[in-house]
Amino acid sequence: MALDTPTAVVLEQMTMAQQSAAHLGELFVAASPPMAAEHGQALTAEIIRCCDRVIAAISRGATGKKRKQVVHGGVMPAKRRARGAGARQEVQSGTTADGFMWRKYGQKDINGSKHPRFYYRCAYSGEGCAATRRVQQSQEDPAAFVIAYYGEHTCGDGASYACQQGAAPLPPAVIVDSNANAGGVVGVVDRYQYLESPLPLLAAEQSTRRHGGEDPFETSDRRWTSFSSSSSSEAEPGTSPVLEFLEGGLGVGWESVVNCLGFGCDLPQFDMLQ
DNA sequence: CGAATTTGACCATG
DNA sequence: CATGGTCAAATTCG
């Protein structure tokens, strides 16, 4: 495990922070004064975005040493991602829904792999958003998808992304260190119960389920109910789930992140964080 | 009928 | 030259 390197710790903690914020955002959905709910969701979206930038910056720094710099003659191209270029983040998840709107632009059978690989770009790529992701059904666990994220969403205005549908309902995920040789697991984030997806199934999942004979999804008990009808939105009388969550320290060890930063791990340019 | 997906071709990379 | 990532015409979907 690479958890003993400062960079890995920061990456893991920031990812946990993202998921915590996403969870908090869901609690705000059910918050009693609609005004507070709105502000709460905006704030959690902001937190998620900040974490996203930190992860991106750190990942860039970590991979930059190994990645070959392709120098183009001054023109923009950079269209095609270098083969095997490291993902900004790689997660293993039970669903391909991550709160963002993606448009599929390709599918490919991969040589050693039993399942095809799907290529998505941000639904707002037309507006210049460069975010991209690659989804592949896991070999060992056919019920899981390995999702690699590339690029960053640029379709946002600071509080939220145009392509983001509320707080990201991040499912339990295994965060994989894409910089490690054999895709070493950096950390396991399974602190939350399985969250229902507010989104319609994406094409990859739909087609997988449709044609499935021994398809994992056909036999799965998982139910995909609407987000708003989730029973978890009913708060116990007298207690606020939002407050409970906050009192629990956001569920994230911020100290370890701060400590890590304080001990001077070689973080990349922070001006990129804006 | 417009929008999203599918699918085979194209092409960069190693 | 094989492989993986992207393009774009054809097709399907809502």
pLDDT given for residue A104 in this prediction: 94
Q: What pLDDT does residue A156 have?
A: 63
CA of residue A77 to C1' of nucleotide B11, angstroms: 14
Q: Which helix (H) or strand (E) holds A15?
A: helix A6-29
Nearest nt by C1' to A111 Cα: C3
A220-264 residue pLDDT tens: 333 333 333 333 334 444 456 555 555 555 544 555 554 544 443
Under a CB-based contact definition with an 8 Å cutoff, are residues A175 and A147 in contact? no
Nucleotides of C under 7 A from a protein CB: 2-8
What is residue A130's predicted lDDT score, i.e. its pLDDT? 83
Distance, Å, A35 CA → C2 C1':
57
Q: What is the pLDDT of residue A31?
A: 62
Give the distance, in angstroms, between residue A81 CA and nucleotide B11 C1'.
12
**Torsion, CA A259, CA A265, CA A270, CA A273, rounded to 10:** -60
pLDDT at A100 over 60: yes
CB distance under 7 Å to strand B: residues: A 68, 70, 80, 82-84, 103-108, 123, 202-204, 206-207
Question: What SS3 state is found at A120?
Answer: strand
Would you tell me which residues have their CB within 7 A of strand C? A 79-81, 83-84, 105-108, 110-112, 117, 119, 132, 134
Residue A83: partners with Cβ closer than 8 Å, 6 or more residues away: none
Spatial strand order of the sheet with A89-93 comes to A102-109, A116-122, A132-137, A145-150, A89-93, A173-176, A185-189
User: What pLDDT, in 10s, does the model give residues A52-70?
Assistant: 666 665 555 544 333 333 3
Q: From the CA of A200 to the C1' of C14: give the distance in Å.
A: 13
Checking each nucleotide's C1' against the CA of A70, the nearest proves to be B13
pTM above 0.85, yes or no: no
Is the pLDDT assigned to residue A146 strictly greater than 80? yes
- Report helix, strand or coil for A48: helix
CA distances from A97 to A19, A126, A247 (A): 14, 21, 29
A21-35, A58-72, A163-177, A253-267: segment of lowest average pLDDT: A58-72
Q: Which nucleotides of B are covered by protein (CB under 7 A)?
A: 4-9, 11-14
Residue with the larger pLDDT of the pair A118 and A7? A118
Identify the pLDDT of residue A236. Answer: 42
Confidence at residue A117, expressed as pLDDT on a 0 to 100 scale: 94
Find the mean pLDDT for residues A132-139: 89
On the question of pLDDT at A118 being above 50, the answer is yes
Distance A72 CA to C2 C1' (A): 25
